[in-house]
A and B are shown apart, each in its own frame.
Chain A
Amino acid sequence: MKKEAVTTLLEVSDLSITFTQYISGLRQRTIRAIINLSVNINHGEVLAIVGASGSGKSLLAHAILGILPGNACVDGKMVYAGELLTPARQAALRGREIALIPQSVNFLDPLMRVGAQVRSGIFNGNSTALQREIFDRYHLAVGTEQLFPFQLSGGMARRVLVATAAVGSARLIIADEPTPGLHPMIVRETLAHLRELSATGSAVMLITHDISAALETADRIAVFYAGTTVETAPASDFCGDGELLRHPYSKALWQALPQNGFQPIDGSQPSIDNLPCGCLFAPRCSLASRDCLTTVPELRSLRGGETRCHHAA
């Protein structure tokens, strides 16, 4: 971690996202997808957001960019570069200062040549020259810009997707699950590109369910569970038996990895329409006491990280 640049770029506090759905006729119900989520990211740092699928990781990305669907209701506070992130501010920033690296090639227009799609992220300067430069940097042959997304190989697609974000001058880059089921070599290459981007001073938010990828790349890791962050810890805390970790879920996650004992815990993530009223992890936690079942633990700082657990010390 670079010591000189530990200023916060984006601070998300108490973010909640609820969706309104019509079940039958005019009867509505609301679904709480993200609850009291707090996370922050500094300049020049890679923050990994790790959690099982369905824990609301992508929604966080969409909430920061302000591209949630119309039936979503966002509550809480987001501060970007010292300014409150309002919808108008988001509209002005997205694509320019905040960029998204999407999951797959399906996020590219199937009928548009990839060169043109990368160029549409450039707002000033000679766009063709800039696009060629970035293609060159990512070892994409000159002819690639004339290809359509369906003609790209897996590795090329990955580089083009990274290029869409790298071509601008984004200060916050959100990579939403950028390495799903890819060849280890391509995964390593993509992660290296993300590291490079953070080395130039951009903050990179890496959203993934691949803990090893996160550990390899990130400075800090935020662990997601059922729509909230249960712990934020320096990547170096993920070591040994997990004794440096603060939250039982992070420990369980760590110990479930094949190289760390391969021990699963019982149960599964609570479904969003039937959440426990106390700590969200309490029903599966071996440390759970009566407190845990009734009161939601506050987020508190602990040993250079943050956690939401009554018992953490």
Chain B
Amino acid sequence: MLLFLLGRILRLLTLLVAVSVLSFLLLELSPIDPVRAYVGADMLKVGPEQWAKIAEYWGLDQPLPERFARWGMAILRGDFGVSMIFRRPVLAVIGERFLASLALMLTAWVFSGVFGFALGVLAGMKQGTWTDRLIKWYCLTLASTPLFWLALLMLLTFAVWLSWFPIGLGVPAGVPTYEVTLSDRLYHLLLPALTLSITGVAGVALHTRQKLVEVLQSDYVLFARARGESGLQVLLRHGLRNIALPVTTLQFASFSELFGGSILAEQVFSYPGLGQAAVQAGLRGDVPLLLGVVAFSALFVFAGNLAAELLYWLIDPRLRPKGDACEQR
């Protein structure tokens, strides 16, 4: 177990190094000019000498490896720099934005997990019937719908026409922060979270269905039926037990899709989360923030995958090493 964790930590470190080197290089090759981004609208007032001075002050005249080393050392000290758009430390921005995103992603994650699982089990049990076909059709349609388009439709329908939900933002506009209540936040969270989970449902349901169909075709289910177990009994005794693991693992491993989806959903709903911050940082050339978000999202996705692995390891008796609980006596 200790060895396993050490291995994973080592893997995380190499991943983070690789991600930072790669994103640093990509930014270097991109047309983003940090000085231009910093100067912004004052471009006409800033002469070439001043321009060069700023570049020199930031160390932009140094060779690439040196700049990377300086940035890397700063990161190691916990200093991610200052975001140019928000004029605040990158870590503070990420922390605040991540909390908002986390609420959004967690809601979507639970929604899609629960509904997707239920739909998948229903379709798997009714395999080949109209119920199954209907669920499959629904899931495939959703799975092939671009999220931003779906988000726009949801916005149009529920926020504009029906006015059930606010049009965007994380909190009501024009209300001081200290007056914003929890229910206000939830109210603003619901529509983006629903949108994000709708496409998630499709994936979870199709995977659950597939796993359940496989289990139902297995020898041990045939034997269970030979022993007089009815369809529902088979599902409760053997079906759920055997699909729980792969499905839970998949659910944790879906953090990356969730994160990708949240970027689009937050953009459409102008929801002030990490995804929106990433888009702004990219569009407006906020290099420190962009690098920070990239590193952080790598960490986030890694955590999801690690959780999936640990779960498998803890639950599946077949992966447990010898001398463990089940081998006693």
Chain A interface (Cβ < 8 Å from any Cβ of B): 62, 65, 67, 70, 91, 93-96, 99-100, 102, 104, 106-113, 120-121, 142-143, 146-148, 150-151, 164
- How far, in whole Å, are A127 and B25 apart by their CA atoms in the complex? 67
Is B82 close to A, CB under 8 A?
no
Q: Taking the complex as formed, is B225 at the interface, i.e. its CB lies under 8 A from any CB of chain A?
A: yes
- List 5 tightest A-B contacts by C-beta distance, closest first: A95-B228, A143-B329, A95-B227, A107-B223, A100-B226
CA distance A108 to B229 in the complex (A): 14
Question: A106, A146, A148: which contacts B328 (Cβ < 8 A)?
Answer: A146
Q: How far apart are the CA atoms of A165 and B222 in the complex, in Å?
A: 15
| Pair B227/A94 contact, Cβ less than 8 Å | yes
Residue of B218, B229, B238, B318 near A150 (CB, 8 A) is: B318
Is there a chain A Cβ closer than 8 Å to B11's Cβ? no
A120 touches B220 (CB 8 A): no
Q: Is B242 close to A, CB under 8 A?
A: yes
Interface range on chain B (Cβ under 8 Å from partner): 20 to 34
Docked CA distance A151–B318 (Å): 9
Knowing A102-B219, A111-B317, A146-B328 are in contact, say whether A67-B238 is a contact too (CB < 8 A). no
Q: Would A109 and B238 be within 8 Å (CB), given that A95-B229, A148-B318 are in contact?
A: yes
Give A112 to B242 CA distance when docked, in angstroms.
9
- The interface residues of chain A lying within 8 Å CB-to-CB of B238 are 109, 112
- Cβ A109 vs Cβ B226 within 8 A: no
| A70 to B237 CA separation, bound complex (whole angstroms) | 22
State the Cβ distance, B215 to closest chain A Cβ, in Å.
9
CB distance from B59 to the nearest CB of A (A): 58
Contacting residues, chain B, for A143 (C-beta < 8 A): 328-329
Can you spell out 22 A-B residue pairs with CB atoms less than 8 angstroms apart?
A62-B222, A67-B222, A67-B226, A70-B128, A91-B230, A94-B226, A94-B227, A94-B228, A106-B218, A107-B220, A107-B223, A108-B220, A109-B224, A109-B241, A110-B242, A111-B316, A112-B241, A113-B326, A120-B237, A143-B329, A150-B317, A151-B326
Is A109 within 8 A of B329, CB to CB?
Answer: no
**A239 CA / B328 CA spacing, docked (Å):** 50
Given A67-B222, A147-B327, A150-B317, 11 additional A-B pairs, CB 8 A = A95-B229, A100-B223, A100-B226, A100-B227, A109-B242, A111-B242, A111-B317, A113-B326, A142-B329, A146-B328, A150-B318
Q: What CA separation (Å) do A137 and B224 show in the bound complex? A: 23
Residues of A within 8 A of B327 (CB): 147, 151
Distance in Å: Cβ of A78 to nearest Cβ of chain B: 16
Residue of B nearest to A165 (CB): B227
Q: Is there contact, CB below 8 Å, between B222 and A107?
A: yes
CA of A142 to CA of B327, assembled, Å: 12
Q: With A111-B242, A143-B329 known to touch, is A148 a contact of B317 (CB < 8 Å)?
A: yes
- Residues in chain B near residue A70, CB distance under 8 A: 128
By a CB distance below 8 angstroms, the chain A residues around B226 are 62, 65, 67, 94-95, 99-100, 102
Whether B220 contacts A106 by the Cβ 8 Å rule is yes
* Complex CA distance for A150 and B327, rounded to whole angstroms: 11
Contacts of B220 in A (CB 8 A): 106-110
Question: Which B residues lie within 8 Å of A94 (CB)?
Answer: 225-228
Residues of B within 8 A of A96 (CB): 228
Residue of A nearest to B234 (CB): A109
Residues in B whose Cβ lies below 8 Å from that of A100: 223, 226-227
Give CA–CA (A95, B326) in the complex, Å.
28
Complex Cα distance A100/B241, Å?
23
Task: Quote the shortest CB–CB distance from B53 to chain A (angstroms).
Answer: 67
What residues of chain B lie closer than 8 Å to A91, measured between beta carbons? 228, 230
Min Cβ gap A303→B in Å is: 35
- Nearest CB on B from A275, distance (A): 27
Q: How distant is the Cα of A220 from the Cα of B223 in the complex, in angstroms? A: 26
**Chain B residues whose C-beta falls within 8 Å of the C-beta of A111 in the assembled complex:** 241-242, 245, 316-317
Residues of B near A104 (CB, < 8 A) are 219
CB distance from A118 to the nearest CB of B (A): 10
Measured CA separation A150–B329 after assembly (Å): 17
> In the complex, what residue of chain B is closest to A108 when comparing beta carbons?
B220
Evaluate contact between A121 and B326: CB separation under 8 angstroms: no
Alpha-carbon gap, A164 to B220, bound state (A): 13
**Docked pose: A275 CA to B327 CA in angstroms:** 52
Query: Interface code B80-104, partner A: CB below 8 Å = 1, 0 otherwise?
Result: 0000000000000000000000000
Separation in Å of the A171 CB from the closest CB of chain B? 14
Task: Give the CA-CA distance A112 to B220 in the complex, in Å.
Answer: 11
CA distance A65 to B220 in the complex (A): 15
Q: By the criterion CB–CB under 8 Å, are A120 and B227 in contact?
A: yes
User: B226, B327, B328 — which one has the most chain A CB atoms within 10 A of its CB?
Assistant: B226
Closest residue to A176 on the B side, CB-wise? B226
Cα of A154 to Cα of B270 in the assembled complex, Å: 62
Q: Which of B193-232 contact A (CB under 8 A)?
A: 218-220, 222-230
Assess the A147–B237 pair: CB atoms within 8 A.
no
A147 to B320, CA, bound (A): 13
CB within 8 Å of A: which B231-249 residues: 237-238, 241-242, 245
A172–chain B nearest beta-carbon distance, Å: 12
Asked whether, in the complex, the Cβ of B326 is within 8 Å of the Cβ of A99, the reply is no
Q: How far is the CB of B226 from chain A (nearest CB, A)?
A: 4
Residues of A within 8 A of B242 (CB): 109-111
> Which of B219, B241, B327: most chain A CB closer than 10 A?
B219
